[in-house]
Amino acid sequence: MRPSFFHHLHPPTIPTAQARWRHTLAAGGTAIFLMLILGVTGILEMFYYIPNPEEAALSVQTITYLVPFGGFIRNLHYWSAQLLLIVSAIHLLRVVFTAAYSHPRRFNYLLGLTLFVIVILLDFTGYILRWDVDICYPLLTGTNLLKTIPLIGDALHRIAIGGGDACTSGLLRMYVWHIFGLTLPVIILGVWHAFRVRRDGGIAVPPPQVRTDNARISRNELVRREVLAMFVIGIALILLSSFAPAPIAPAMPTTPAAIGAAASQSARAPWFFLWVQQMLKWGDPFIFGIVIPIGILVLVALIPYIFPKPADSDIGTWFPKSNRFAQITIGLVSFIVILLTLLANAK
């Protein structure tokens, strides 16, 4: 048989331990599945979406209310994106809690983390594409944050939205970043990430000498489990998309005077950035909006490099002793982010 990427990812047999639900939580595979759905529904939306400030929100309304199944397609795109963020976060947590990031998987850990960051940016740029009254202040404050970065801030602002006024211009850039500038890296890094999983010896489990359970499952069984996971997620997506429509708000006015009045009604960041908005209430935007979030990211990226190497027999087991520091670090980070989000919701 001709070797293919599919066969690279699905060898004839793999250790059962690598394919247990309670070990992987099926999170990485679900992320891939959601990305495929995002790709397909996104391309379908491109047939109707018009990336200019006068027509964007109206074209979203066209998709939602007029195009046959348009609302459903849009809901699928929306819900897959929200689930992708959650599932990637769960995947990241499981990789740290099971010490799976350790050598030889350190490089793939960084690939994964980069994917996570790009996925957040994709969710943000996608949200901006609605170009309704809700997106003005998040876009304005987000891009003004870039300007607070010394030396390169203004250039970054121009790279992001073309250097103009956030709520009257910049949509074309957001569009191209969303459908191409961020999507292409996700495809390349995503394929690379999946390729590396097998190259690094498959999902992390203790080495055969110390493994108690040496059972193996066949390729067919692996595929069967993958299909089952896709089926469950698929049903969840269909239910969500049928009964919980993606948010839609009136179009953003086109004159600055009217924008001010309309935008002040909704100064709320999208849910995944509420924690940053909450910190920004505390003071200097550069510190709380740039330095701290990037600091957290760097800390998470350094986990495989600064903490003691987990014992071989611990790799791929839940909450092993030799991995305490990493677990506490990622646990604290998640706790703080969730707490800040709740705080932002409290008012």
Partner 1 sequence: MNVTQWKNKMTDLSRRDFLKLIRNGFLYLSGVLVTGGLLRFLSYESEPKRKTEFDIGSADNYPLGSRTSIPEIPALLIHTESGYTALSLTCTHLGCTLEPNETGFACPCHNSSFDEAGNVIHGPAVKPLQVLRIEITDDGNIKVFTA
Give the residues lining the site for ligand HEM (CB under 6 A).
24, 27-29, 31-32, 35, 88, 91-92, 95, 100-101, 105, 108-109, 112-113, 115-116, 119, 190, 193-194, 197, 203-204
**Per-residue CA distances from 159 to 138, 143, 152 (Å):** 17, 10, 10
Q: Which amino acid would we find at residue 319?
A: F
Shortest CB 280 distance to ligand FES, Å: 6
Task: Name the residue nearer to ligand HEM (CB basis): 157 or 193.
Answer: 193
Residues 6+ apart with CB under 8 A from 224: none
* Residue 98 near residue 183, CB atoms below 8 Å: no
Q: Helical H runs in 162-218? A: 171-176, 183-199
Shortest CB 141 distance to partner 1, Å: 4
Task: From the list ligand FES, ligand HEM, partner 1, none, pick the one residue 83 interacts with, judged by a Cβ distance below 5 to 8 Å according to partner type.
Answer: none
Residues 254-293 binding partner 1 (CB under 8 A) are 255-258, 260-261, 263-264, 267, 277, 280-285, 288-289
Ramachandran class of 208: left when φ > 0, alpha when ψ lies in -120 to 50, beta otherwise: alpha
Q: Whole-angstrom distance between the N-terminal and C-terminal Cα of the chain?
A: 61
And the tokens for 152? 């390169």
Task: Name the residue nearer to ligand FES (CB basis): 141 or 241.
Answer: 141
Task: From the list partner 1, ligand FES, ligand HEM, none, pick the one residue 261 interacts with, judged by a Cβ distance below 5 to 8 Å according to partner type.
Answer: partner 1
Please give the Cα distance from 239 to 191 (Å, whole number): 29
Shortest CB 95 distance to ligand HEM, Å: 5
DSSP helix/strand/coil, 5: helix
* Residue 101 near residue 305, CB atoms below 8 Å: no
Shortest CB 54 distance to partner 1, Å: 15
Task: Name the residue nearer to partner 1 (CB basis): 112 or 253.
Answer: 253
Binding site for partner 1 (CB under 8 A): 137, 140-141, 144-145, 155, 158-159, 161-165, 169-170, 173, 255-258, 260-261, 263-264, 267, 277, 280-285, 288-289
Binding site for ligand FES (CB under 6 A): 141, 280
